[in-house]
Structure 1
């Protein structure tokens, strides 16, 4: 009896549909854990690199010198650096073109930084939709396998004259494994989605704050630049 009711034997004896359900859930669970570790690495790396870049930015270093440094060796997963490069690149282009409209310069810089923030948001949210989908659908996939397995068990009992617990138990236990696998896939996915979506949102808030602070610095420099150019143009 112990061998007949072992988990492996129950899986082997399951119907084709239940086996397919289990296989799908196993694949989803495997991908879920791959994406959990991948998102953990990416988001933690983003926080560390952003903190390091902010420290460099506010250290009093010349912004043009900082731009040459980060542009020569850009880092992956560094949202602050990406926003800085986008904003300062647009500012430098306007300065080279001798644009005298400070508001026009700032509009271009802010537009470039918003694009950079959007790209970072897309990068941080990558694979989170998959985790949300697994968390919401895996229990239903497992439930489908359970319902199908129990239905087959009761159909098989139709030809049995005497029904006992020993006859019914293997079929029901076999079917319930699908639900267990569905929950095993869904629970980590839901926890990871809630955790990493909150962390990604916090990172985006930090990036938005940095973009606003950098915009204020560029705004002052744009007005100074426009004022100097107007003085040079005045005879």
Structure 2
């Protein structure tokens, strides 16, 4: 009885091959797959927008900070203005190094303390870079997951939809193209949505991963140069 009803509905909807029509006449399982893929696609674009915006902001802030840092001004003054309450990753790295350097300078002026100062400063910058990059890389795993699994989720919806269509066709005992086409179309629509979600996710993941790696290298380069500066100043004060 249910198959007969499905067959009647399938035939009635034969003329509606619009995207909305394909969605509405799809089986409930296929509808859930489509909805999940559409939601994943929307979330992918939200993540892409957030990552692109945050990376641009971080690079602009780093440019402005480096201009001030290399201008020859006081490091203590720069620390008080930007390092104590950093608002971007490079300022956070600078602030962590300055805070550790100040603590070492306030400690007893023993040679042991001075010899270990550079290691402590470098360690503090390394930890800060890792923390800042972990924060900037948040949701990147989601992009990778959508890019790798969305086509297979869409394929599952396609297989399920085709099985459902063939069951209805068998109950109707009619293989006319007008009867077959809507069921096949709605099933393939699920695969199409899966590709629409996966392709931007893969492209965005590759591009953003490259930009993040480049920004991490920028932070590491700054930390190396700044560590050398603090080490020289420590030796001059000794």
> Contact between 2:83 and 2:96, CA under 8 Å: does it hold in 1?
no
Which stretches of structure 1, 4 residues or more, deviate above 3 A after TM superposition? none
Identify which of 55, 78, 86 aligns with 1:74.
86
Residue number in structure 2 paired with 1:99? 109
Give the secondary-structure state (helix, strand or coil) at the position aligned to 2:202.
Answer: helix
**Contact 1:99 1:105 (8 Å CA) reproduced:** no
Distance 1:157 1:145 in 2: 18
Q: Return the offset for 1:192.
A: 0.8
CA contact (8 A) 1:87 1:113 kept: yes
**Structure 1, residues 178-234: CA drift from partner, whole Å, max 9, x if none?**
001101111111111111110000000000000000010011112222x2xxxxxxx
Written as runs of structure 1 = structure 2, the 5 A alignment for 1:147-166 is 147-166=159-178
What is residue 9 of structure 2 aligned with on the other side? none
Shift, 1:164, TM fit: 1.2
CA RMSD of aligned residues (A): 1.4
| Aligned position for 1:17 | 29
> What is residue 233 of structure 1 aligned with on the other side?
none
TM-score (norm 2): 0.90
1:123 aligns with 2:135: yes
In structure 2, do the counterparts of structure 1 residues 3 and 167 end up closer, same or farther at CA, with 3 Å as the change threshold?
closer
Asked if residue 88 in structure 1 is aligned to residue 98 in structure 2, the reply is yes
How many residues align structurally?
224
Match of 2:55 among 33, 36, 43: 43
Unmatched 5+ stretches in structure 2: 1-12
Residues of 1 paired with 2:74 and 2:160: CA distance? 68
How many Å separate the matches in 2 of 1:57 and 1:204? 18
Match of 1:232 in 2: none
Partner of 2:154: 142
Tell me which moved more, 48-57 or 64-73.
Answer: 64-73
Could you tell me whether the CA contact under 8 Å between 2:100 and 2:121 is conserved in 1? Answer: yes
Mapped to 2, the partners of 1:113 and 1:74 lie a distance apart of 13
CA 1:6–1:145: 2 relative to 1, 3 Å: same
2:75 corresponds to which of 63, 79, 94: 63
In structure 2, the residue matched to 1:197 is 209
Unaligned runs of 5+ in 1: 228-235
SS of residue in 2 equivalent to 1:4: coil
